[in-house]
Structures are given as C-alpha cells and as structure tokens.
Structure 1
Amino acid sequence: MPSTAGSPCNNSSQVRTALASGVPGGDSAYLLDYSPGSFWQERRVAKNTTTGALAITNVATGPALDAPQTTTGSTVLTNHTNAEATEQSWTPPS
C-alpha cells in the first residue's frame, strides 16, 4: 500500500481507514485505522470473466465479503468463499 503522508484522506478532519474482518462465520466487516501489514485488512479482488462480477476475499484467512441483504446500509458479513453465492458477487461501477 502506498504511503498516506500528504494524502487527502489523512488530514485534521479525516483519517484513512481500511476494511477489516475476522475469521468467517457470519462476522460483520468493519473499518479500522489503516495498519500496514495487517492481514485482517488485506483483500484480493477477483473478476469473474464470464459475468464480470467481483469477488472480494481476505488474502490471509480466506473469507469473502457477503451481503445477504441488498438494501442500502445493510451489514456486510464475512463468510466462507462460495463462487455460486450471489451475495458474494459485487458489481463494479460502470
């Protein structure tokens, strides 16, 4: 991850955060202060070449981001990776 010094995300009113999560099992994903090298915060994004959907997984522990509810503001969970689970498919912006 590049240095955040002088970044517009790090100033007196904003602090850079990163998505973190625990081991799979329905735990919610959450934001923490960015911590270089924290395996809880490292993600891999893979694109399905057939559908174009994105899968977002934790590099070290393997859980995927899972959104069982699609309403705005719904909690995003972590769960065991399942390529067939539509709630683990994320659509990139067009």
Structure 2
Amino acid sequence: MQPVRKLQSATHFKKVQGPSSANSQLMVDDLLTPCSPGDPGAIELTWMDGPSDKIPEHIICMSDILHSLSPTRPTVNTEDLFKIRKFTEDFGQEG
C-alpha cells in the first residue's frame, strides 16, 4: 500500500520517461510520477486531477517493504512463545 499512499498524498508530479500504457514497446516522456514541490519541473496536481493513463505502475522495491514492516508489531509475545516451547518439550517433537 505504500506506493498507493504516496500517490494519493502527492500534491505535485513531474514528467518522466517510461513505457507507454498502450504499447509497452514504445517509450514516452510524458508519464507523471509523484515528486516534492521543489523538484525541477514539478507540476501542482493530484492523482485525481491527472490523466490516469499517464501514471505508470510503481515497481515495488525493498524500501517499500521495509517501510511497511517498520510500524508492524509482533502478534505473539515472549510469554506465549515460552508456553509453546514448553508444550513442545512436554508433549511433542520439533521438526
């Protein structure tokens, strides 16, 4: 969801080069990507106001995944892990 949130919260876009949405073999230089207001070529625009066919697919990278994981808290606490380990020792086998 990080790329979607970045797109939704963007107030400025700039033109970039990439494959055409109609023909991936054709390179165009009028695609729009989110940017900061101070970037050279920044255009004040929201994703709702811009042409949807000019916003390329975002390629998910490791920084997107790490950013998503950073606020995530464990769903199992240390005490629960101890109980599971104790149960396995008493009644079952690992592996």
For the aligned pair, the TM-score class normalised by the smaller chain equals: under 0.3
Higher percent of residues as strand: 1
Tell me the TM-score normalised to structure 1 length.
0.21
Q: Which has the larger radius of gyration?
A: 2
Q: Which has the higher contact order (CA 8 A, sep 6+)?
A: 2
Tell me the TM-score normalised to structure 2 length.
0.21
